[in-house]
Amino acid sequence: MIVAYGCWLRVAFATHAPLWNDEVQTSFFVSGHSVADAATISELGPHITGSLLQRRFLVPSPTRSIADDVHSFVANDPPAPPLYYLLVRLAAELWPDPVTPARAVSVLFSLLFLPSFFWLVRELFHSKWAPWIGVCLAAVSPQRLLSAYESRCYSMWALAICLATAALVHAIRSPHRRWWVLYALTLTLMLHSHPLSLGVLAAHGVVMLVTAVKARSFRLVLPFAAAATVGVLLMTPWLWAVYQHRMYSAFSTHWLSKPVHLIQIFHCWAFEVGAHVFITDSSWWAFGVGQLISLLVPALVFLTAALLWRRGERFAFLVIVPLLVAIPSLLGLQDLLLGGGRIAVARYEQPTMVASLLCLTWLFDRLPVWLTTRKQATPSSVEPGSRSEWPRRLVVFAGHAALFVLLGVGALDCYRVAHNPARFKHQPRFDAAVAALEGVPQPLLVFPAPGVTPLLLSLPFPDAEFMVMTSIDDLQRTAAAPNVFVVGKLNAFEPFAKKLGPLLDSITAAGYVLEPVGAGELWRIQSHRERKTNQRDLRAQD
């Protein structure tokens, strides 16, 4: 029932939320557009509706073939995985709207993640109940649900990590040719899901190397090396495209070079790992208790890793720990050598998230039994129904109760995420813009030409009107109209005013003010009288 509930949430609410900035980028490039196409928006006329804007830039053109669009998005967004873009482009043939095909592929991979994780847990732990515990935790994981609601490659990557790791474990224990062929296929899928999959391949290499050294036999290294070689060779065309467009690749990822504070890294990791069980939010956990409880999950993960070694489950330890540390080590080394804050981007930590779910699964499956049996001399020393059996039953009951509580909390948080996913995606600019425009009748949004910002295409207001600004006079003429908003950062208007001062002075001289309402990307033009009235209404509400 828990698994069915998680699947229902993934399918029923996938298209309720509008696309956000990164998803807009996916649909924009999948539709065959380039950055230069944004300059053609003025051809649509001075006043454009939101639905027309989305149909123009987020839906594939019927005059272009799929091959044309594939060539276009490989050239315009080379760091992105072309296989995922191709699947989204094929889905766009089935649905004419911009939201459904963008989300359908991620939802499909999120649903397939559940049986693949079931297989991985069964291969790794050989337990009757552990696979079911793991698939229930994954079904009501808010983080996995958020990935399903996002038209990016991370659901596909998590699925490929599970499949490749499970195939590797089975191939090591049952070294038959067909299992190595399966590993080669799943490894190829993983390598075409995200470039950081090379770090996961390195983790698999560590598993193989340690296994071969312990067995004093390197007969399994050759098929592993062959599978890895095939996967990397099939990845070569994508790597060549990234190299050919390396200037744009460097530009599109320049934001990763921004340094981050250690506290930001700690907070990001605590939230993302904890989000596998619950979303820490002050409105849900009073007095900041959620932030404290979020630290419990990473602590349990590291505790489980230590217990795996202590309990003698060395092979499971050997598979899980490299997955835990592979990507953080790789990104941390890049940050150390090149500078930046790549390690703080939690979306890149999908292998760590899969390993964390494996740790929690083992913990709830084995810990209650281990706590009740480790002090008993022999199993026959405890007679059924005796008083000494009650502490054991109490510990097992407490472990099961803790599991059901966490599943219940995860189910409730998944319900909250499904009804308002944008709230948990950390997009303050988008949230502020939607809140400012919600309930405003027929808003007119003015933005500088050329250029289409992702904020414009992701706003869920198809009836809103957009006006291309070609001069300061356009802004001054529309200032007197009701419900006028300016979209974009103010420095985007510098081509029309050599300095920002003249632009603001011209609006102020006409008796209007530019009020920020969208965290620096949305501004409302108001008269002084309207501003005073709004401020008075806000004070009355407080």
At 435-445, the pLDDT tens digits run 777 777 778 87
How does pLDDT run across 369-391, given as a tens digit for each residue? 666 665 444 444 445 554 456 66
- Give me the CATH topology for the region 428-541: D-Maltodextrin-Binding Protein; domain 2 (3.40.190)
pLDDT bracket for residue 539 (50, 70, 90): low
d(CA 201, CA 227): 11
Work out the average pLDDT over 104-124: 94
Q: What are all long-range contacts of 421-425, with beta carbons under 8 Å and residues at least 24 apart? A: 421/13, 421/16, 421/17, 421/145, 421/146, 421/149, 422/17, 422/18, 422/20, 424/142, 424/146, 424/279, 424/281, 425/20, 425/146, 425/150
Query: Three-state SS for 63?
Result: coil
Residue 536, amino acid: R
Least Cα distance to 523 among 531, 511, 514 occurs for 514
> How far from the centroid of its chain's Cα atoms is residue 5's Cα?
21
d(CA 478, CA 472): 10
Positive or negative, the CA dihedral 529, 534, 539, 541 is positive
Beta strands 484-487; 444-448: pairing state: parallel
Tokens of 78: 């080379």
More confident residue, 373 or 148: 148
Tokens of 171: 């191939």
pLDDT bracket for residue 33 (50, 70, 90): confident
d(CA 294, CA 273): 8
pLDDT value for 89: 87
d(CA 352, CA 346): 9
For the beta carbon of residue 179, count every other beta carbon within 10 angstroms: 18
CB 84, CB 103: distance < 8 Å: no
How does pLDDT run across 237-277, given as a tens digit for each residue? 877 877 776 666 665 666 666 766 666 666 666 666 666 66
Give the pTM.
0.83
pLDDT value for 43: 66
Work out the average pLDDT over 174-191: 92
Please provide the average confidence, as pLDDT, over all residues in the chain: 77
Instruction: Tell me the sheet residues that pair with 484.
Output: 444, 525
Full 3-state SS string of 342-376? HHHCHHHHHHHHHHHHHHHHHHHHHHHHHHHHCCC
Tokens of 224: 């592993």
Beta strands 522-527; 484-487: pairing state: antiparallel
d(CA 229, CA 225): 6
Residue 295 has pLDDT above 50, yes or no: yes
d(CA 81, CA 73): 10
d(CA 478, CA 475): 5
Tokens of 254: 């320049």
Helices (H), 126-259: 130-139, 142-148, 154-173, 177-191, 197-215, 221-244, 246-252
Q: Which residues does 255 contact at the CB level (< 8 Å), separation at least 6?
A: none
Work out the average pLDDT over 395-408: 79
Full 3-state SS string of 159-179? HHHHHHHHHHHHHHHCCCHHH
pLDDT value for 262: 67
- Where in the sequence of the chain do the CATH 3.40.190 domains occur? 428-541
More confident residue, 379 or 1: 1
194 phi, psi to nearest 5 deg: -165, 140
How does pLDDT run across 57-71, given as a tens digit for each residue? 788 877 777 777 777
pLDDT value for 376: 46
320 phi, psi to nearest 5 deg: -75, -45
d(CA 431, CA 20): 10
Positive or negative, the CA dihedral 42, 43, 49, 53 is negative
Tokens of 530: 């309207």
Helices (H), 295-345: 296-310, 314-338
d(CA 229, CA 180): 12
Residue 507 has pLDDT above 50, yes or no: yes
Tokens of 363: 């913990």
Residue 284 has pLDDT above 50, yes or no: no
More confident residue, 278 or 179: 179
Tokens of 503: 């632009």
Full 3-state SS string of 440-482? CCCCEEEEECCCCCHHHHHCCCCCCEEEEECCHHHHHHHCCCC
Residue 135 has pLDDT above 70, yes or no: yes
Q: Which residues does 1 contact at the CB level (< 8 Å), separation at least 6?
A: none
pLDDT bracket for residue 205 (50, 70, 90): very high
Instruction: Please name the helix (run of DSSP H) or strand (run of DSSP E) that holds residue 497, with its range, or none.
Output: none
Beta strands 512-516; 522-527: pairing state: antiparallel
d(CA 239, CA 202): 17
Tokens of 275: 């989000």
Instruction: Please name the helix (run of DSSP H) or strand (run of DSSP E) that holds residue 88, with its range, or none.
Output: helix 82-91
pLDDT bracket for residue 298 (50, 70, 90): confident
Q: Which residues does 332 contact at the CB level (< 8 Å), separation at least 6?
A: 343
518 phi, psi to nearest 5 deg: -130, 40
pLDDT bracket for residue 501 (50, 70, 90): low
Q: Which residues does 236 contact at the CB level (< 8 Å), separation at least 6?
A: none
